[in-house]
């Protein structure tokens, strides 16, 4: 808090000087929401990718749904809204969109998957290709963020492409590769989140985020 004193200088014989104190509040600045959004994205991607890669029996896939709704979905959308407050267009669009992706993934599996007519694989493939396109153009924008985030988007684009091919085929082996790349994506996102949290906590760069040349 800062105090500013204004002194009045009266003429001789006048009353003692009157001092006024004005309290000036410091502008409020929110914490960086990016580490939270990255952590939510990383964990949900990791769990789903464990099933896509066939490292865990696919019968356990429903365990992803609650995580997709609460952490991957709601928390990421909140992070996206907070990014608007920090005037970060990239973070706002990325977290809000991928939060919506996880909520749509949850809704698709809970409410709509059984009612898809025709070739369900092609329908899911269109859904995944659309997200691959979105992620690809966000990758271009990530060239102006940092190396850690850029790596996340490069790997995520590859993940969506492989999953789209696997669903359309069907090519289960391609889906498994999508799962492996998804695990790498989750690891990269976890690192970006961890580095940002650690650097903020220590007040200095402890773990590099690899700033890009020419930013």
- Does 27 map to a domain? no
Please, how many CA atoms are within 13 Å of residue 50, restricted to the half-sphere of its CB? 14
Mean pLDDT across the chain, nearest whole number? Answer: 90
pTM here is 0.86
Residues in the chain: 215
The Cα angle at residue 35 between residues 133 and 155, in degrees rounded to 5: 35
pLDDT digits (tens, 9 = 90+) for 167-193: 998 899 999 999 999 999 999 999 999
pLDDT digits (tens, 9 = 90+) for 96-114: 999 999 999 999 999 998 8
Question: If phi over 0 gives left and psi between -120 and 50 gives alpha, with beta otherwise, what is residue 98?
Answer: alpha
CA distance 188 to 190: 5
- Does 42 map to a domain? yes
Q: Per-residue pLDDT averaged across 125-143, rounded?
A: 98
How many CB atoms sit inside 10 A of residue 22's CB?
Answer: 9
- Does 141 map to a domain? yes
- Does 212 map to a domain? no
- Does 74 map to a domain? yes
Q: Is the dihedral of CA 147, 176, 169, 59 positive or negative?
A: negative
Residue percentage of the chain with pLDDT more than 90: 78
Query: Total domain count for the chain?
Result: 1
Domain extent, residue 85, equals 34-202
- Does 208 map to a domain? no
Q: 47 burial class (0-12, 13-18, 19+ CB within 10 angstroms)?
A: buried
pLDDT value of position 179: 98
- Does 184 map to a domain? yes
CA distance 154 to 158: 6
- Does 209 map to a domain? no
Q: In this model, does residue 6 exceed pLDDT 90?
A: no
| DSSP calls for 55-120 | SS-GGGTTHHHHHIIIIIIIIHHHHHHHHHHTT-HHHHHHHHHHHHHHHHHHHIIIIIGGG--S-H
Rg of the Cα atoms in the chain: 24
């Amino acid at each position: 808090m800062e105090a500013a004193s204004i002194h009045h200088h009266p003429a001789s014989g006048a009353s003692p000087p009157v001092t006024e104190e004005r309290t000036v509040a410091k502008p409020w600045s929110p914490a960086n929401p990016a580490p939270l959004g990255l952590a939510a994205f990383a964990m949900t991607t990791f769990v789903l990718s464990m099933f896509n890669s066939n490292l865990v029996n696919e019968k356990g896939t429903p365990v992803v749904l609650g995580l997709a709704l609460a952490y991957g979905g709601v928390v990421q959308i909140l992070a996206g809204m907070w990014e608007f407050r920090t005037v970060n267009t990239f973070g706002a669009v990325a977290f809000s969109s991928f939060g919506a992706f996880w909520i749509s993934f949850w809704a698709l599996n809970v409410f709509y998957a059984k009612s898809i007519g025709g070739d369900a694989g092609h329908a899911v493939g269109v859904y995944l290709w659309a997200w691959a396109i979105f992620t690809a153009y966000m990758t271009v924008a990530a060239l102006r963020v940092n190396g850690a985030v850029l790596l996340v988007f490069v790997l995520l684009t590859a993940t969506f492409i492989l999953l789209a091919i696997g669903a359309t085929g069907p090519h289960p082996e391609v889906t498994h590769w999508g799962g492996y790349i998804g695990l790498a994506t989750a690891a990269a996102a976890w690192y970006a989140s961890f580095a940002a949290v650690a650097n903020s906590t220590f007040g200095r760069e402890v773990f590099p985020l690899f700033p890009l040349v020419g930013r």
